[in-house]
Amino acid sequence: AYFTRDYTSNKPWEINAGVQGGLLIARPNPEHLQRYIDFIREGNFNRGRGGNSGWGGKGYGGFQGAMAYQGAVAYFYDHILPTPTFVQLDTCRYNQVVADVIWRGPDGIEHKGECRRYPRDGNYAANTKCEDCRVTPIELVKTAHYTACKKPWECAVPHPRVPRDKSQVYRLSHLTNITTCMNLHKEWFKLRQDFEDSMVRFSAGETKISKRNGQYEKEFFLGYCNGSHRYIAMIPPPEDFDVDEMYGMSSSL
């Protein structure tokens, strides 16, 4: 299996990190699936965080999604399967969330500036040289997960959150990077634009596409937004339109 870890939910001194829910690539294996079902049905989960919490009492508790997918999948591949059967991908390049992976408090302020990913040598106090995923160049990103950056079709500029709890303002105001997010939005709209242009060429101009006359943040949304949350939807292709053939792929099994 291939996946990334959700270090945004981790603390520098915590050994275990959950799996980020936006990406999981796995080769089907009936035996592994049954073992996954068995441990879920067993339900051996302790409430709390760290220590003996979470699945199997191994410390997979308390973080976002710990009781569900993000904790269950992490525990399954770390402890249930007998040998390493996964590859952990680079969080800044695969399943890129554009979220802060550096600890900024407010609790554990003595750890401010440390990487959220627990280091192999266990010396988390000296672990301060991790890549800042919020500013990873777009050309290095392989896949993106539009969560901290909001969904492109929401036509929203991803301004940082301002929570009621004022102690969280600094952390959440630094959670993501607007410039990187907007550039990733642009990449998504470029894919839509390319798909529509390909349909027109393939159908010799017979396929209708939506207008691109939206003026809201046009540099990034490429004319597909009339304003915040005012997305110009795609006109679906005819039912008999063969997308596989357009891309030169066989539709037969």
Query: How large is the C-alpha radius of gyration of the chain?
Result: 22
Q: Which helix (H) or strand (E) holds 24?
A: strand 19-25
Question: Regarding beta strands 87-88 and 2-5, do their DSSP bridges make them parallel or antiparallel, or are they unpaired?
Answer: parallel
- Burial category of 97 from C-beta neighbours within 10 Å (exposed 0-12, middle 13-18, buried 19 and up): buried
Highest averaged pLDDT of the listed ranges 109-113, 215-219, 241-245: 215-219
* pLDDT tens digits, 119-158: 888 888 889 999 999 999 999 999 999 998 999 999 998 7
For 2-46, how does the pLDDT look when each residue is reduced to its tens digit (9 = 90+)? 999 999 999 999 999 999 999 999 999 999 999 999 999 999 999
User: Which amino acid, 113?
Assistant: G
37-64 pLDDT per residue, tens: 999 999 999 999 988 999 999 999 999 9
Average pLDDT on 231-240 reads 93
The model's pTM: 0.86
- Residue with the two structure tokens 């879920």: 40
